[in-house]
Structure formats: C-alpha cells, structure tokens
Structure 1
Amino acid sequence: MRIVVAYSAGGAADSQARLAAQHLSEMWAIPTVVENKPGGNTLIATQAVQRSAPDGHTMLSVSLPFALNPMMFEKLPYDPFHDFVPVGLISSIPNILVVHPSFPARSVGEFVAYARANPGKVTVAHTGIGSITHLSGELLYDKTGIEVTTIAYPGSTPAHADILSGRVSAMFDSSMLQHIEAGRVRALGVTSSKRLDLLPDLPTIAEQGFPDYSAAAFYGLVAPRETPPAVIEKIAADLRSVLQLPEVRSRMRDMTFLAGDTTPASFGVFMQDEAARWGDLVKRREIRPG
C-alpha cells in the first residue's frame, strides 16, 4: 500500500500522512509507505495516482489545491471530483503567521502596518499557489489591501530553511511549533477562529482587529475513480479507527492537528464546500499558477 504526497518530506502534509500510514500498516499487517512527489502545484502527484491501478493499493494525500485547481488552471488533465473518489479526512489544522526574529513586527497589526508602509518589500514564503499557506496570506492581503512579495516552495521544509535564515520575512505555516518555542521565529497570530491549546497566549488574527478572518488546512485521502466501493469503505472505516487511537490523537495534538472523523460521502461534501468557499477568493484575487 502506498500514500502519495504532493509535497516534500518533513512538512505538515507529509507528517500526517506518515502518522496515518504507520498505524494503517500495523492494522493491515502489510507495509504502507509514503511516497513524496512534490511539484507542479500538486499535479505531478495527482496524475501519478490517477494513472495507478484502482485496486485500493494507491491513495493520494490531498489538501486544498486538489479541490481548487479546476478554478486556477484553464485546463487540467484530470477532474478531481470525477476521476477520484473520497476516502476520508485525516486532519485539519490552522496556520500560524510567523516572522523571522529580525522582522520589526510583534503583532498582526504591526505586520500589516509595516507591509503597508513598505509595499512589496515584505517577502512571504508559501508551499504553492492555492495551498492554504498561500491562501491564508491572500485572505489577509485581500482584507487589508497590503502588497507583499510571495515566494513559492515545493514544501514546508525548504521554506522553513529560508525563514529560519532570514532570507524571507514571514510565512503562514502549521509545522513550526518547535521553532516558535525555541525563539527561532516569532509567532504573530493564529489563522483559525479559536486559539490553539498548545499556544494559549497567542491571539488569533481575528482577535487582533481583523474580524471574520478564518483559515485552516485540511488533509485527507482519495483514490482512483474505479476503486471498488467495498474497498473504499474498508479503508475509510480503518482510517476512522486509527484516528480514534489515543496515541494517534495525542500525537496529533502535539502537532496542533485536529483528527478527522468522516465517511467517504461526507468528506466529498466537505471538499466541495471548501472549493466553493475559497473559490470566491481565488476569483476575486485572480489567482493563477505561476
């Protein structure tokens, strides 16, 4: 069994896939491996799974770009809601706006004020056009009218290297908790509507004068369209069981993930809703792959 991830190893997408794979492997008593295929705005990984045999042995780890790509590309070599079937939601997770310690802002308001006074000079890393690390920023820029320079990376790990070194100013990301705690980056605000349990003193962006701001990533699994329904239901049921394990839920809390609990049908509806919600921003901001 393999789970194909559209991002490089080490980031949030990779981490949650590996956590699920580890416990599914133990449950099934067969190797379940994670295969990283970054690049192409997730198209490389998606097409690899599309071409795979629909036998339940290959799944794709998906996030927001999977649902949004039809709105950003004039033509796609696949239809995400026709050529794939949903399996289930693994997790959802808010991002945190972080900056290099040398950046002159200690709140989201100060970040916005600095960017407004220095249009285009603030550099913000993200993991691809249409990713939640990208759209979390676009939502803030849309609400405030600020102009920044965004830089796309093939995954969180190379982006982290550049923000830790100070090559870029900021990033909206979910997997820098250890760097926040060590003081290697400064956290300014949480993108979700509620504060994080692990960072209770860090206010949300909405709390800091930007009402109605809310953004969170999601990660789940889909399979090629012709995968037998009975196989999909079996994998989905086993995934739900894994996500209820105390050790899995504890590990997810440590990574600020919220464990999923969906059926294939409800995960499909969820992705359609996310596409509609973020699609409005994509159209308004005229966001297209670079």
Structure 2
Amino acid sequence: MATGLATFAPPALAQPSSPASRFPEKPVRIVVAYSAGGAADSQARLAAQHLSEMWAMTTMVENRPGGNTLIATQAVQRSAPDGHTMLSVSLPFALNPMMFEKLPYDPFRDFVPVGLISSIPNILVVHPSFPARSVSEFVAYARSNPGKVTVAHTGIGSITHLSGELLYDKTGIEVTTITYPGSTPAHADILSGRVSAMFDSSMLQHIEAGRVRALGVTSSKRLDLLPDLPTIAEQGFPGYSAAAFYGLVAPRETPPAVIEKIAADLHSVLQLPEVRSRMRDMTFIAGGTTPASFGTFMQDEAARWGDLVRRREIRPG
C-alpha cells in the first residue's frame, strides 16, 4: 500500500550571473588617441553620452594624444580585459604595423573589434588668402611652387594625412606637411593663415562662416550638407576616394559575451534619431556593425591604404 508521502526535489542551485549580464559594473572609459575637439573626440563623446544613459553608468572619454596613437593604444592594451576600458580607433590603428619596424602590439591579435561608430569624408580646405578656388587650381599652384604649400594633418597615417598623400601620389605635386597632435591646434593655424591647407572633417562651421574656403570633398559622393561642393574625383581626378572611420576595440581577452553586449548597445545608440541627426550635422555617417564585420572592414582598409603607404614609403617622422 502506498504511503502517500510527497516527494520533494531539492531546490535548484543559484546560477552565477554572467559577465555580460553584470556589465557595466563600474564607470566605462573610452580612450581617444587625439586631443579634444576634433572628429575622433566628437564621435566618441557622442557615443559615450548615450551609452551612459543606456547603462545608467558613467562612460567617460579620456584623451591621450601622441606617438602616432601608440600612447593611447598601449594604455588600453595594458588595461583589464573586462570591457570597461575601450580604445577609439581610426585608420592608423590598422596601418601602424606597416609603418613601424617594431610595434609593441598587433592590432588584430592583441585587440578584439567591438563596432564601427561612424565614417566620414574629409574636405580639402584652405585659408581664404590662398590663391585657389578649386582642387585643380590647388594642384596647379602647388606644382608651380614645389614645397611652398603647407598642409596640416593630425598624424602620420591618419586619414587627414593619407587623403593628401593620395592626391600627391596621383598628381606628383610636392607640399610641406606639418603634423599636429589633433584637429584643434591644426585648425588654429589654418584659421590664422599660418598653414595653407588641410584635409579635415570638422570645419563645417568655419566653412559656412567663410573663415576657410572648401575646395573639394574626398568621398566618392557629395555631402548632403554641402551639395554644391564637388568631390575631388569630379574635379579631374577620377578614382580619388578617401574617408575616415571611427570605431571601438577592446583588449584581447575581453569575454565575447561582453563584446557582443557592448556592440549591440552601441548599435542601438547609433539608431537613435537624435544621434543620427547630430552625426549628420557633423557630416558623420552613423555606423553600427557586428564585431566580426568591423574586424573585416579594418582588415580591408589596412590592405587598401597599405599599398599607398608602401608606394609612398610613408614612415613616422
């Protein structure tokens, strides 16, 4: 005869929460390899602001310019691989192995991609006193005055540098390039006339105010905000195309689940209407990719620009 006693299962053991479910557990830091105020800084701060709101946790931007981005890169390489410290990267991150004989890191071995934040074409601008009103006139003047045209950029291998190198390679002109630690100090010298020209993405307000003259857009298509400004390719230089990109990477051993969470949250932020509107106002094109696709994109950019770096024998100064 059955006793009728009830059978009770033991209580389930509590499962430890995953790193991704707990992230972020403390303030998040995005390290930018350029000074405050430029394009790299602006897009990082825009993303950080909205990630802070989403996570209810402070997400700060730390500027560590210098050393062709090596200072910032090594600082993040040495940080804890937990997602709380990330590096804002652009083209030099992928190109530095081709430019330095000995590099203290490998961008594709020591870091993992998180996602693309934005891409942005540059605009060739000159001081209003410069005697050129088009790219063809700029090239003609530089050809007649070899080495006399001064062009600012934000670092060897940066897109502000390589946009110019691509044009010099196509035309054979010689200019004098001047390296700055970021866009802000370079802008000061362009606005004062101490430097003739710059390929840059963050001078729209100065263009509109007439403080600099825009000659051409580096992308293959015109900008929506400057529809009357032709591309460089349109002005007699077919095939010319250059654009910056900005994204996030993290130290190599950051847990994949944490990377996927950050990437998904970054993608959500980049779909917000207010973020897309702000990026459009800054001539940025909002990104938002998977980690894998961002990694492939950086590999492709390294291969594309690496050909120019080798051909022009570009090395850090």
Aligned-residue offset at 1:6: 0.1
C-alpha separation between the residues in 2 aligned to 1:90 and 1:43?
21
Taking the aligned partners of 1:37 and 1:72, their CA distance within structure 2 comes to 20
Larger radius of gyration: 2
Moved segments of 4+, more than 3 Å: none
Secondary structure in 2 aligned to 1:33? strand
Deviation at 1:276, TM superposition (A): 0.1
Query: How far 1:265 sits from its partner (Å)?
Result: 0.2
Give the Cα–Cα distance (whole angstroms) in 1 for the partners of residues 147 and 201 of structure 2.
24
TM-score by length of 1: 1.00
Cα distance in 2 for partners of 1:203, 1:227 equals 44
**In the alignment, what sits opposite 1:257?**
284
C-alpha deviation, 1:169, in angstroms: 0.1
Between the two proteins, what is the percent identity of the paired residues?
95
Whole-angstrom distance in 2 between the partners of 1:285 and 1:15:
30
Q: How does 1:87-166 map to 2 (within 5 A)?
A: 87-166=114-193
Per-residue deviation, residues 11-36 of structure 1 (Å, max 9, x unmatched): 00000000000000000000000000
Q: Within 2, Cα distance between the matches of 1:240 and 1:59?
A: 16
**Residues in 2 aligned to 1:246 and 1:79: alpha-carbon distance in whole angstroms:** 36
Aligned-pair CA distance for 1:103: 0.2
The alignment covers a number of residue pairs equal to 290
- The SS at the match of 1:10 is coil
Query: Residue deviations 1:73-124, cap 9 Å, x none?
Result: 0010000000000000000000000000000000000000000000000000
Q: Deviations over 1:35-82 (max 9, x none)?
A: 000000000000000000001100000000000000000010000000
Tell me the secondary structure at the aligned position of residue 235 of structure 1: helix
Q: In the aligned structure 2, how far is the partner of 1:155 from the partner of 1:261?
A: 25
Cα distance in 2 between the residues matched to 1:50 and 1:138: 30
1:268 matched to 2:292? The reply is no
Which secondary structure state, in structure 1, belongs to the residue aligned with residue 219 of structure 2? coil
- The question of 1:183 aligning with 2:245 is answered no
Query: What's the CA shift for 1:261?
Result: 2.3
Deviation at 1:251, TM superposition (A): 0.2
Cα distance in structure 1, aligned partners of 2:311 and 2:289: 31
Q: Which runs of 5+ in 2 are unaligned?
A: 1-27
Q: Separation in 2 of the partners of 1:73 and 1:276?
A: 16
Task: Please report how far the alpha carbon of residue 241 of structure 1 lies from its aligned counterpart in structure 2 after TM superposition.
Answer: 0.2
Q: Identify the residue that residue 277 of structure 1 maps to in structure 2.
A: 304
Partner Cα distance (1:209, 1:261) in 2: 34
Say yes or no: does 1:62 pair with 2:93. no
**Pairwise CA RMSD:** 0.2
User: Does residue 1:33 correspond to 2:57, yes or no?
Assistant: no
Whole-angstrom CA distance in 1 between matches of 2:98 and 2:237: 27
The CA distance in 1 between the partners of 2:66 and 2:128, in whole Å, is 29
Q: Once the two structures are superposed, what CA deviation does each residue of 1:221-273 show, in whole Å capped at 9, x if it has no partner?
A: 00000000000000000000000000000000000000002100000000000
1:153 and 1:261 map into 2 onto residues whose CA distance is: 29
1: distance between equivalents of 2:250 and 2:142?
A: 42
